[in-house]
Structure 1
């Protein structure tokens, strides 16, 4: 799961989806606020219209009808009354302009009476109106079962004779409603944007990068590959083209160095053979033996150089083999037997001949300097481990790394029969590193030397394993 979240494609998709959600949330919040403002303006205009009409009606009707007019104008959330004082005693209110303009437009442009407006938020029960009919009182109690969290608008309109028409009206904030159409449109937009456009664009971006990563892994294992096709965005095309040039230069450099070493070792054979012939013609025995011995040492060094050059060669094509079967065949082909403990089948990609040569060198060293050689293999995460242990004297800790140097021998004699050539471990490490792996040595706590070889699985095989799991 964590590897999927680390994917560039998944992270970009999550970023796009998150951005869409944030944008949709902001738009919904703005929509709800605009809806509240629209409802507030509509209710304020309606209350202002009713108040202006009642004020005109009261001024034109006889005083004995005023009480009936006020009762008729009352509602569960609106109260009209005539008082000697204005209910609004201060004038600085945010809704005064719009409401007052609405009232004056209904009263007439020439009307200059004083109009006061007050608007504020409330959260408390609204008592029933005085002289409210029983059915309206019951309706009011049903509506006021819970406290209202809304707005209260108070109007004070000056009447003829020095009295004031005071109007108290309250209205609840509009409930938050989920906009179904907006949600559906968001879902369709996200599906089209992500499923079609983004997925195609991200695939066009990530597939060349994935292919480039596989090619880099293959190059690290020494596999020769054709140049990658240049595709994708301009940055990815530049990266692919740069990788192709780098791969060509590296392969050419390695091939040139290997060819030079092989040619040098080969060309030295002829003059050394001629020197050997001339040395054999020396009559003095002591001088002849010294010359022949020096020439033999030089020929030995040439052969070692050629062997090391062959160990660096990486022209063999890689193959996918089953590791247990590969080690079983190696055991059968070797003269000096070793104990092999097989494990679950492991498919691994390697160059069989080169890897067989590396393992032969390691096992031969273990047989030469130790006894009871044991070979085991297992899987550790995305790598295959091969462990070779002997029960010999081991190697001093200070020389565990030096033994990989060319021509270095722990055995200090100059005899090839007892000390070997000093190139076996060096060639083995070169082969392992050309596969993208490595070799490490350590002395086992119970005695003997433990050689650890680790090899990476091929990326294609890893991908298949993850798909099955």
Structure 2
């Protein structure tokens, strides 16, 4: 059921919308974290620059015996101060430190032109406590902060008035990728609202009309005449519905015209044939009279079968849902047990009972006439119902298995004129079954005999129960 849902237009659109929302949220989160990281780095850099400038001024103004105490007081787990004869940053040209240097010079005063060197680089390995910090306190603090965080190290070397250098080592942590609860709630509410709107739109404006067109097409393919569908939904769906209505109207009108022509032709031929029969009865010579009467009777039979063919093309009978097993048993009783039924299937199918009864009767009578017996079996295969009629006759040459469905075609060798028939039985049977959206297929059985298979689509109204 789940796979069937995602195979539908609604399911695929739901996946597409959810995927787009997730990608948009991920991009937004990434941009947000990056912006937040830049803001945190700028704030920490500004703080480190302010502390470095203040410590530099304090060192220069304090007595020498207090300088070590000042450095120890200024140290923290992530910032370390040290005074050396040579600067830790050994190059003058530095990048990405303009804002830090500007902050320091603003604190040191506009007339202060001392040299300030800054270096930024990615930290490698685990962070360790800075110098002058107790191992327990520093380690605990760092373990709480680092986790999976990436770190940037900034080193400042600030020239002092006495020629020494104040070196400052500090570390910035990039904020980790986080998904706050409020963001998750916001995403869920947004997705729910969008999906509800999409479902409403799809159900009422898109997939609803499309399902109606699909259902009407299936019914029309089974020969069921339907009313024109209402033109609702988007313009493309309305155009599709209008085209289907026009096609259904043209085909229905064409089939009705064809049926009326055949029926009128067969009906109009009855009168002259009756007159010929009367005139033939007046012929004195017995041989000529019998020959004329035989020819006229054959023509009358052809007219009757033509009318039957025309009636078979008509689709005025209303479809009904029937139980196939009971349907075949009733047909067997009507034909006085002329055939055997071998099936355990219990399938209900929507069809026009009289038309299908006529098609099956034609196929069974053919099997009885040319094969001597008939066995009917039923098999349910996924979306189709197969009704097989088997006989033990001589079969049909492979080259003629399709030609026998042509109107008035009769085999001269295996199915003689003398055995009866006008060559319309199979044509009528196939026409009726095809009007239901199925087909009739003939094949020779292994050894001897013919197998006629009636394929009927189960459709959405069918129900199968094996047992």
Give TM class, smaller chain. Answer: over 0.9
**Does the residue aligned with 1:345 lie in a helix, a strand or coil?**
strand
1-structure distance, mates of 2:292, 2:448: 43
| Higher alpha-carbon deviation: 276-285 or 367-376 | 276-285
The alpha carbon displacement at 1:95 in A equals 2.5
**1:116-159: CA deviation from partner (whole Å, max 9, x where unpaired):** 111111123556555x26xx333123345689841111011111
Where do 1:63-462 residues align within 5 Å? 63-125=64-126, 132=132, 136-143=134-141, 149-194=150-195, 196-204=196-204, 205-283=206-284, 288-335=289-336, 337-412=338-413, 418-461=419-462
* CA shift in 2, pair 1:54/1:24, >3 Å: same
> Deviation digits for residues 62-119 of structure 1, max 9, x if unmatched?
2232222212211222221222222112244332111001101111122221111111
Find the aligned partners of 1:94 and 1:173 in 2 and give their Cα distance: 19
Aligned residues between the structures: 460
TM-score with structure 1 setting the length: 0.92
Structure 1 residues 265, 149: closer, same or farther in 2, change over 3 A? Answer: closer
RMSD between aligned residues:
2.3
TM-score, L = length of structure 2: 0.92
- Say which is worse superposed, 402-411 or 197-206, in terms of deviation: 402-411
1:16 correspondence with 2:17? yes
Q: Tell me, in whole angstroms, the C-alpha distance in 2 between the residues paired with 1:321 and 1:460.
A: 10
- Report the CA distance between 1:315 and its aligned residue: 1.1
Q: Is the 8 A contact 1:413 1:419 kept in 2?
A: no
User: Taking structure 1 as reference, are residues 182 and 261 closer, same or farther at Cα in structure 2, changes over 3 Å only?
Assistant: same
* CA-to-aligned-CA distance 1:171-211 (integer Å, 9 cap, x gap): 333333332111110001101110x2111011121011111
CA distance 1:386–1:128, shift in 2 (3 Å) = closer
Q: Distance in 2 between matches of 1:237 and 1:127?
A: 71
Q: Is the 8 A contact 2:280 2:289 kept in 1?
A: yes
CA deviation digits over 1:4-46, x for unaligned, max 9? Answer: 2221111111111111011111111112212221211111111
Shift in Å, 1:51: 0.1
Change (3 A) 1:228 1:165: same
Structure 1 unaligned regions, length at least 5:
none
Kindly indicate whether the alpha-carbon contact (under 8 Å) linking 1:409 and 1:419 is maintained by their aligned counterparts in 2. Answer: no
Separation (CA, whole Å) in 1 of partners of 2:245 and 2:127: 81
Contact 1:91–1:118 (CA<8 Å) still a contact in 2? no
8 Å Cα contact 2:362/2:429 also seen in 1: yes
Q: CA deviation at 1:57?
A: 0.9
Q: Is 2:45 the counterpart of 1:47?
A: no
How far off its partner does 1:458 sit? 3.0
Q: CA deviation at 1:429?
A: 0.3
Aligned-partner SS, 1:30: helix
Distance 2:449 2:280 in 1: 45
Distance of 2:103 and 2:414 partners within structure 1: 115
Structure 2 unaligned residues grouped into runs of 5+: none
Q: Classify the secondary structure of the residue corresponding to 1:377.
A: strand
